[in-house]
Amino acid sequence: MATSSRVLRSAWGNSSAEAFLIVAIATILITRLYLELTGYPQVGGKSLHIAHALYGGAAMAVALLLGWLFLGSGVRGFSVLLGGIGFGLFLDEVGKFVTKDNDYFYGPAAEIMYVSVVVLLVASRLTREVRTPTRDEYLGNAAAVAADGLVRGLPPHRRTAALLALDSAAELGADPADVTGVRALLERAAHRDDRLRALRLRAAAFIPGWAGGPWPVWILGWLLVFSAFVTVGFGIVQLATGGLELQDRSYELELDRMTVSGGILFVSALVTLALALPAMLRARRDGPLWPLRLLRIAALVYTMLNALVDFATEGFGALTNVALGLLTMAFISRRIAVRYAEIVRAADDLGEPVRRAVDAPGRNPR
């Protein structure tokens, strides 16, 4: 097999990165709540104060060591959990690191935490979305699953995902001997139950069917377009007039000169509109996945950039708006999962390669 000098992406790397950040955010919120309820106790006695950032650093170090020393998806999952907890404990004390008086309650600390998480989240998402998987990435990920399966066995969904990746590698021109070898390893791997996945499936059974339908996404998507359009309109007026004040007997309208916060909101709305409008114009009940993926990116941009302003002005009070944005992305992600399953079934019925059906930018695999 021809070697490749490029860095290969893991098929599960993005989900691991997002889980890592979710655990970190949850750790920050739980830590703040615990300290508030217990009166901010200190560990270390009269002369010492052992900050919980130290526990966070230790947890991240252990997570790294586990990832280096052991193989397997189970160890990787535990490393993600432990590393996320450690990162959350470390990030929670950022106020102490950036102030001369070690001020844990430093006002912009919430904004610094938020920016740090957003940068990592966007970077991990861009790593995945910048281009479709290559032949070597399909083959390498399938081989990694096969190696894990020989020792520990494979749950059905991981075996199926690896076989689909292998089909895509073959379609893109991978060496047939390599494809055959990896396929043989996958087929020889013993069966293994995935209890965590079974638990997730049970939880998913409680999600109402309409949540994965097209209508919630259609409503939320056009609300996103409308909100972004209005914000862009007001921003253009602010830039063109340097502020506007209109008064009449029945109404009064006043627009201040655009500030830094207003500029961030304007850029956020502009980018969101450029992404969400074409996505909604091309979105169809039985259409391809790319409009939904584009809409999810638009919702992510709008939520994250707007929350940057909210955190700067409201501190942790901005969590309400962030929660609404995350709920919108959850509906879109649910629709993507449902539509992906429909496309895979349709491609399988027609004997069409799944990769081509899923990745095609403008065609319906019916």
pLDDT tens readout for residues 135-162: 999 999 999 999 888 888 888 888 888 9
Q: Residue 313 has what pLDDT?
A: 66
- Can you give the length of the chain in residues? 366
Mention every residue, 6+ apart, whose C-beta is less than 8 A from residue 103.
Answer: 95, 96
For the chain, which ranges sit under pLDDT 50? 1-3, 5, 361-366
Token code pair at residue 236: 């253009």
Do 295 and 325 fall within a single domain? yes
Do 344 and 224 fall within a single domain? yes
What's the number of domains the chain is made of?
Answer: 3
Question: Which residue segment(s) compose the domain that 22 sits in?
Answer: 13-128
Do 54 and 160 fall within a single domain? no
The secondary structure element, H or E, covering residue 254 is: strand 252-255
Do 72 and 198 fall within a single domain? no
Mention every residue, 6+ apart, whose C-beta is less than 8 A from residue 333.
Answer: 296
Mention every residue, 6+ apart, whose C-beta is less than 8 A from residue 300.
Answer: 121, 122, 125, 329
Q: How far apart are the first and last CA of the chain?
A: 35
Q: Residue 278 has what pLDDT?
A: 93
20, 86 contact by CB (below 8 A):
no
Token code pair at residue 183: 């396929």
Distance CA 145, CA 158 (A): 7
Answer with the one of 170, 204, 238 that is the final residue of a domain.
204
Question: Which of 92, 87, 121 lies closest to 305 in space, CA to CA?
Answer: 121
The secondary structure element, H or E, covering residue 247 is: strand 244-247
pLDDT tens readout for residues 260-315: 677 778 888 898 999 999 999 988 888 888 899 899 888 888 887 777 677 666 66
232, 273 contact by CB (below 8 A):
yes
* pTM (two decimals): 0.67
Do 192 and 218 fall within a single domain? no
